[in-house]
Structure 1
Amino acid sequence: MEIRERILQAALDCFTELGYDRTTVTMIRERSGVSNGALFHHFPNKEAIAAGLYLDAMRCVQEGYWATLKDQPATLRDAVAGIVAKLLGWVESNQQWARFLYAQGHLDWSSDAAGELRTINRDLVLAYREWLGPFIATGQVRDLPMVVIVAVVTGPAHAIAQRWLAGQIGGSLLSYADDLIDAAVASLSGNPTSRRQRKRKLPTTGHVRLQLVADDGTVVAEGEAVTALTSMGASISAAAHHSAVRETPDRP
């Protein structure tokens, strides 16, 4: 194992056993068995070591995504299935690393490692966009911001993975893949009702009052009709299926 990898593995072990805050650089150095000079040659401080672990973990996860997109999946489901399976499989095979990744949460976005991660993320988003373009153009996939598409595909899988790592749900992590894939595909390809439309409930039936008026303006008959209402964009058409009409006596 190379010196850098030895340092990172020692740090991961210490972070897992003691937590990030209680771990010191000295503990990491002693656990790794490297000299002070060797450690500081690769990492100036504990924050840089944690950033290195985080960045390496993200690279490993995204390599799986790249492998899926590189194969140019023929359908939306094929792509989503590949990405979800890669993510869940990585977490299941790298539980210690995954726990660190979720516990750490994010990088200091002013750090060099964060700059590298931004570049990796940007390139992956471009790959997503290139692959999804034809599906969006033909209406098979909704035209959503890429940040939303990525969140829809991977966000629920991350949530399930965290619950699985915490022991809140059992079984193989990959056993949840099919449901996650179905949900993501439905979200990306569907045409859900907007929030405004969901809140606005139109009536399905109504009453229409009718009057028969003579040329001189005299009402000669009147009545009511019970109608079925059908929404037609901004207007509503009514089809009367019952009416009761009664004559009105002549007015002087």
Structure 2
Amino acid sequence: MIMVESTSYRRETTAMRRQVILMAALKLFATKGYTETTMEDIRQLSGASTGSIYHHFENKEKLALALYLEGRQDLNVRLQIVMNTPGLSLEETVKGLVSAYIAWFVDNPDLGQYVIQADSTEYLSAQVRFLQQSSDAVSQHVMAWLRPIINARHIAPYPDQLYIPLLFGPSREFLRRWLRSRQDIDFHQIQQELGRAAWHTLRPDP
């Protein structure tokens, strides 16, 4: 029993240390930029040892990719909660997805900006484009939820490639603009209006 607790504690400590390193990297990438940030900068800000840094991340490129994956996976969890909530109507779920999408970026502005900008960065763009096509991408999870709804014709008929842009595209563009200024606005109203717009676009013909 003591051995199990000790192993569990070590794993928890290792996971926490990894998270601290990632958050230090995010702060430095946001303030200094990726190119100017060194692994030594990340080590100093995180308080981790050199050995610990390289135990978790082979190099800065792998660390940058891990940070992107961390954000994408966390956003996916937020959306999965909405899709797995029992008792919601289709309209409530569509609006809930838009609301959860916006809320995640508001709760994680630095990480959100990093995720949004990742596909246009030289050091991540190729890997991000590949990952966006993979089976664990956010869009793939949402499309898996939408598939039976599309097949049952409970939602407006569009080519498959349009559903994700129509659902999240306006919100993403709003967030891209907001993340530049971080101005104080009424996000509840924004969530309501963009959710209503998404449903208006995706709802089946009356």
Specify the TM-score bucket, using the shorter chain as the normaliser: 0.7 to 0.9
| Aligned positions, number | 186
CA distance, structure 2, for counterparts of residue 177 and residue 148 of structure 1: 21
User: Which one scores higher on RCO, CA 8 angstroms, separation ≥ 6?
Assistant: 2
Could you tell me the TM-score, scaled by structure 2's length?
A: 0.78
Deviations 1:68-126 (A, max 9, x none): 11125643321111111111111111112112222323645458x95598231234422
Distance 2:133 2:21 in 1: 20
For structure 2, the residue ranges without an aligned partner over 5 or more in a row are 1-12
Which of 45, 63, 70 is 1:31 aligned to? 45
Counterpart in 1 of 2:147? 129
CA distance in 2, matches of 1:6, 1:55: 15
- Once residues 25 and 114 of structure 1 are traced to their aligned partners in structure 2, the CA distance between those partners, rounded to angstroms, is 25
Q: Which amino acid is the alignment partner of residue 31 of structure 2?
A: E
Among residues 131, 136, 158, which one is paired with 1:120 in the alignment?
A: 136
| Higher Rg | 1
TM-score, scaled relative to structure 1 = 0.65
Q: Write 1 or 2 for the structure with the bigger share of helix.
A: 2
Matched, 1:153 2:167: yes
Give the SS at the match of 1:105.
helix
Tell me which moved more, 148-157 or 74-83: 74-83
- Structure 2 CA distance for aligned equivalents of residues 33 and 87 of structure 1: 32
Q: d(CA) in 2 for partners of 1:93 and 1:11?
A: 18
Which range moves more in the overlay, 64-73 or 166-175? Answer: 166-175
In structure 2, do the counterparts of structure 1 residues 168 and 95 end up closer, same or farther at CA, with 3 Å as the change threshold? closer
Q: Which has the higher strand share?
A: 1
Q: CA RMSD in A?
A: 2.6
Identity of aligned residues (%): 25
Deviation string for 1:148-197 (max 9, x for gaps)?
A: 11111111111111212222865133321122122211211266xxxxxx
Structure 2 CA distance for aligned equivalents of residues 23 and 29 of structure 1: 11
* CA offsets 1:193-249 (integer angstroms, 9 cap, x no match): xxxxxxxxxxxxxxxxxxxxxxxxxxxxxxxxxxxxxxxxxxxxxxxxxxxxxxxxx
Correspondence list, 1:67-216, <5 A = 67-72=81-86, 74-105=88-119, 107-110=124-127, 115=131, 118-121=134-137, 122-130=140-148, 132-133=149-150, 136-137=151-152, 139-167=153-181, 170-189=184-203
Q: 1:4 to 1:87 in 2, by over 3 A?
A: same
Partner of 1:62: 76
